[in-house]
Amino acid sequence: MQDYDAAEIVCMDCGFVVALNLANRGPEWRAFDHKEYEKKARVGSPQTFTIHDKGLSTMIDWRNRDVYGKKLSSSQKAQIYRLRKWQRRVRISDAYERNLALALSKITKIANSLSLPRNILETASLIYRKAVKKRLIRGRSVQEIGAASVYIACRQCGLARTLDEISLASSISKKKVGRSYRYLLKELNYFVPPMKPRQYVSKFSNQLTMQGNVEKVASKILVAASELKMTCGRGPKGIAAAASYIAAALTGEQMTQREIAEIAQVTEVTIRNRYKEMIKRLLFIMSL
**Residues 6 or more apart from 235 whose CB is under 8 A from it?**
266, 270
At closest approach, how far in Å is the CB of 193 from DNA? 16
Nearer to DNA among residue 100 and residue 247 (C-beta): 247
With CA atoms as reference, report the closest residue to 238 among 258, 265, 259, 218: 265
With CA atoms as reference, report the closest residue to 259 among 217, 205, 218: 205
At closest approach, how far in Å is the CB of 234 from DNA? 4
Nearer to DNA among residue 24 and residue 256 (C-beta): 256
At closest approach, how far in Å is the CB of 138 from DNA? 24
* Cα gap 97→93, rounded to integer Å: 7
* Cα gap 83→89, rounded to integer Å: 10
At closest approach, how far in Å is the CB of 257 from DNA? 4
Q: Please state the separation of Cα 202 from the chain's center in Å.
A: 16
Q: Taking the CA of residue 34 as centre, how many other CA atoms within 13 Å lie in the half-sphere pointing to its CB?
A: 18
Nearer to DNA among residue 61 and residue 164 (C-beta): 164
At closest approach, how far in Å is the CB of 102 from DNA? 28
At closest approach, how far in Å is the CB of 160 from DNA? 15
Degrees, nearest 5: CA angle 53-56-150: 45
Give me the residues that bind DNA (CB under 7 A), please: 175, 233-235, 237-238, 256-258, 265-270, 272-273, 276
Nearer to DNA among residue 48 and residue 265 (C-beta): 265
* Cα gap 178→152, rounded to integer Å: 10
Nearer to DNA among residue 133 and residue 175 (C-beta): 175
Nearer to DNA among residue 3 and residue 144 (C-beta): 144
